[in-house]
Amino acid sequence: MEIHGVAIFRRRDLLKVTAAGAALSLVSLTARVAIAAGIPKVKIGIIGSGRVGSALGGVWAKAGNQVMFSSRNLDNDKKLASEVGPNARAGTPQEAAAFGQVILFAVPYRAFPELIKSLGDSIKGKVVINASNPFPQRDGEIASEARAKGAGIFDAQLLAGAHVVRAFNAVGAPLMASAHEDPGKIGMPIAGDDENAIAVASRLVREIGFEPVLVGGLEMGKYLMPGTPLAGEHTPAEIRSIAAGLPH
């Protein structure tokens, strides 16, 4: 089965990938990519190429995916792409949304209304990983609304038509850039409602070097941000234990 050209896996396939994770944690990123050659690489549109977007996009590109960086500064994105290597390129947010089979958002929450309007239908039907967090003191009313409804539920309304997964919301960008050097030890809580989108996101989380831990549907997305019990560095077992004690 596919979502916009991305080969995806049902739960039984995801369990196989999970079982393989322990063995893969003992070898280098390059070797892990070779072992996982049967899992197709994807085109990833990065919208927001600051510290988070550049860290994630850099590792994904080096793992063999095709990445397009985008932001309000195309010259900076071109420089970043040249530093990352041949699997990276630069474009506008509109071009990145059209390019990507998977879209990563890593932008200030206040940017979403205008940004989503400018993207038109280009994210519909695609897997969207939202690493953005709503901070009322920075982002204003939209962030307050997102926190009141819950960030995951609000994401689904904001990014209507996309298959949304929240991930990469509450660990630092330096760790995102380096976790693949010693993979599998740190858990990454993720939340989503679409099983196939979760499978795609989980594979990409593993390529970054984290072990994905599904904490629930998008209603649990309210806990995937700084200041919550799931924020910071935790082992996969610790994340499961913390999540089990959180009210839904």
CA 115/CA 227 separation, integer angstroms:
26
Strand segments, DSSP code E, in the chain are: 2-3, 6-7, 43-47, 66-70, 88-91, 102-105, 127-130, 163-166, 187-192, 211-216
Q: What tokens were used for 4?
A: 């916009």
Give pLDDT tens digits along the chain (248 positions): 556 666 554 444 444 434 333 333 333 343 343 334 445 789 999 999 999 999 999 999 999 999 999 999 999 999 999 999 999 999 999 999 999 999 999 999 999 999 999 999 999 999 999 999 999 999 999 999 999 999 999 999 999 999 999 999 989 999 999 999 999 999 999 999 999 999 999 999 999 999 999 999 999 999 999 999 999 999 999 999 999 999 88
Residues 202-223 as b or e (16 or more Cβ within 10 Å = b) = bbbbbbbbbbbbbbbbbebbbb
Predicted TM-score of the model (pTM): 0.85
Residue 170's pLDDT is what? 87
CA 130/CA 216 separation, integer angstroms:
15
- Asked whether 104 and 47 are in contact (CB, 8 A), the reply is yes
CA 71/CA 48 separation, integer angstroms:
5
Structural domains in the chain, sorted by start: 2-244 (3.40.50.720)
Q: Which amino acid is at 64?
A: G
Bridge partners of 189, per DSSP, are 213
